[in-house]
Amino acid sequence: MGSPAIAPTGSIAHCAQCGTKFNPGDKFCPKCGASSTWSTQPEPGATEPGSLRVATSPQDDIVALEQIVARNPDDESYRKLLAVALHDDAMKDWWKDPKDGHYLCTSARQIHYARKQIDRALALNFNDPKLRVGLEKMRQLVDSMEKREYVGSWFHVVFFGLFYIFPGVIWWYVNRRPSFLLNRDYIKHVESGKEPPSALSKMGGAMEKVSNFLESTTGEFAGGFMALALTLATMVVLSPIFLVLAYKQNYLDVKREYDVAQST
């Protein structure tokens, strides 16, 4: 949606797309629904002909479209325009990867907002299979941001499972991170300009701090190796602490973030 204009007193506004006249103050053409560019023609005797452009936000456009839909319940075209506006607004705060142009979600708040906007769009009654499929795919993308993934060293899982009192499956479970947290870590890595992080660094939390500290003092390859060796050498003492911290970050803190997002 672009920025509509409000016609000043003493002028007749026309849609630049189809030429239809509209009332001063209307944000969308009553015929074609366009809102990007408006032109005006002066009324006879007007002293200051011309048009005044007023910038609006996507939320303003959505509110205006909702009002038009309410006034024209039998006009499907307005419902479709509203669905497009909600689709475009859903990922407005997501981070765009400069490498491939993909949009990445980095917070529970973004997931909650995107899901709300998409569900509002899908609830509208309009006949456009292509748009509806696009909305469904976006909904699937948003849902995938909650999918958990283990990105640490699988050696830990096997080692704990074979030799330690804590089975490897517990280590795997508590260190599974939601995709939006992985995206957050990835963005931090991209913006830092560093080489690809080690498996230990990707785990986040205490393991990431240990790995980063050793890498900063001994080099990336040696640091990653030493972090792994340190973890194995001291696992009897530190592993329970790492497990608790990982569970807090990947589950309790994530739940708290969701609760905050849903309450706003």
**Digits of tens for pLDDT over the chain (264 positions)?**
333 333 333 344 556 556 666 565 555 565 555 554 433 343 444 333 333 334 467 788 899 999 999 999 999 999 999 999 999 999 999 999 988 888 999 999 999 999 999 999 999 999 999 999 999 999 999 999 999 999 888 877 887 777 665 678 888 999 999 999 999 888 888 887 776 677 767 778 777 777 676 666 665 555 556 666 665 655 556 778 888 888 999 999 999 999 999 887
In this predicted structure, what is the pLDDT of residue 237? 65
What DSSP string describes 138-156?
HHHHHHHTT-EEE-S-HHH
The parent domain of residue 85 ranges over 72-145
Q: Are residues 158 and 241 in the same domain?
A: yes
Q: What is the tally of structural domains in the chain?
A: 3
CB atoms within 10 A of CB 95: 18
Q: Are residues 259 and 152 in the same domain?
A: yes
User: What single DSSP character describes residue 48?
Assistant: S
In this predicted structure, what is the pLDDT of residue 45? 41
Torsion sign over Cα 52, 21, 26, 62: negative
**Cα–Cα distance for residue pair 132/139, rounded to 1 Å:** 10
In this predicted structure, what is the pLDDT of residue 26? 58
In this predicted structure, what is the pLDDT of residue 36? 42
Q: Which of 92, 119, 145 is the last residue of a domain?
A: 145
Residue 218 included in any domain? yes
Q: Are residues 152 and 137 in the same domain?
A: no
Q: Whole-prediction pTM value?
A: 0.69
Q: Are residues 82 and 140 in the same domain?
A: yes
Cα 27 to chain centroid distance, Å, stands at 28
Q: Are residues 154 and 140 in the same domain?
A: no
Q: Which of 98, 124, 145 is the last residue of a domain?
A: 145
**Cα–Cα distance for residue pair 45/144, rounded to 1 Å:** 60
Q: Are residues 155 and 244 in the same domain?
A: yes
Q: Are residues 206 and 155 in the same domain?
A: yes
Q: Are residues 206 and 136 in the same domain?
A: no
Outline where DSSP puts E strands in 57-199. 95-96, 103-104, 148-150, 176-178
- Classify 199 as helix, strand or coil: helix
Q: Are residues 188 and 215 in the same domain?
A: yes
**Cα–Cα distance for residue pair 164/159, rounded to 1 Å:** 7
Q: Are residues 20 and 119 in the same domain?
A: no
Q: Which of 124, 145, 166 is the last residue of a domain?
A: 145
In this predicted structure, what is the pLDDT of residue 263? 87
